[in-house]
Amino acid sequence: MSAPMKLPEHPARIGEQISLNRTPVVAVGENIQASVLMVCQKTPPSRVSPEIHAQLKQGRAYRRKPVTVPEQERSAWVAKTFASLGLETEPDVTLSPLRTLPLGLKTGKIPAIHAQVKGVVTDSLLFNEALRTGVKSAKNYGFGLIRLT
């Protein structure tokens, strides 16, 4: 039988304990610049003309599958997303061209854009939670993580 393992005299030398609460705290009224790589998809609108609805539905729930946000709507879509997170953005939102990024070997590709925004925090609780958890979908693939610049 082997001898029991001896613990080191200085456990701090093994490594630091990492705190998950190191996210910066942003206050109401603070001007910030943020950038995020986000999935550029939305749920189709529920209210469409009956002709279009009949073409889209074809026996299935057409709203189940997200669609790519059209190019002319993207700036407003990003501003609306950040407004729901407690950040009132300035009108000059900088967006990259749409890219489709692979998610793995068997899965498909996902449309994504890189957005850079400037704005004023209107709700610090919502925005700080978004900083900590991210926005939109595919966060496990690295999308939606807000970076303050």
SS3 annotation, 11-49: HHHCCCCCCCCCCCCCCCCCEEEEEEEEECEECCCCCCC
Q: Are 112 and 137 in contact (CB under 8 A)?
A: no
Ranges 6-15, 47-56, 123-132, most confident: 123-132
Q: What is the mean pLDDT of residues 48-62?
A: 64
What pTM did the predictor assign? 0.72
Task: For the chain, give the percent of residues with pLDDT over 70.
Answer: 71
Q: Is residue 60 scored above 70 in pLDDT?
A: no
pLDDT at 9: 60
Query: From the CA atom positions of the chain, what is the Rg in Å?
Result: 22
Q: Is residue 8 scored above 60 in pLDDT?
A: no
Task: For the chain, give the percent of residues with pLDDT over 90.
Answer: 33
Q: Which of 2-16, 30-44, 67-81, 109-123 has the lowest mean pLDDT?
A: 2-16
Q: What is the mean pLDDT of residues 68-77?
A: 91
26-148 domain in CATH 3.40.50.150?
no
Q: Are 118 and 33 in contact (CB under 8 A)?
A: yes
Q: Tell me how far apart the alpha carbons of residues 60 and 71 are, in angstroms, rounded to a whole number.
A: 27
User: Which of 84, 79, 81 minimizes the C-alpha distance to 94?
Assistant: 79
Write down the domain spans for the chain.
26-148
Q: What is the mean pLDDT of residues 103-113?
A: 78
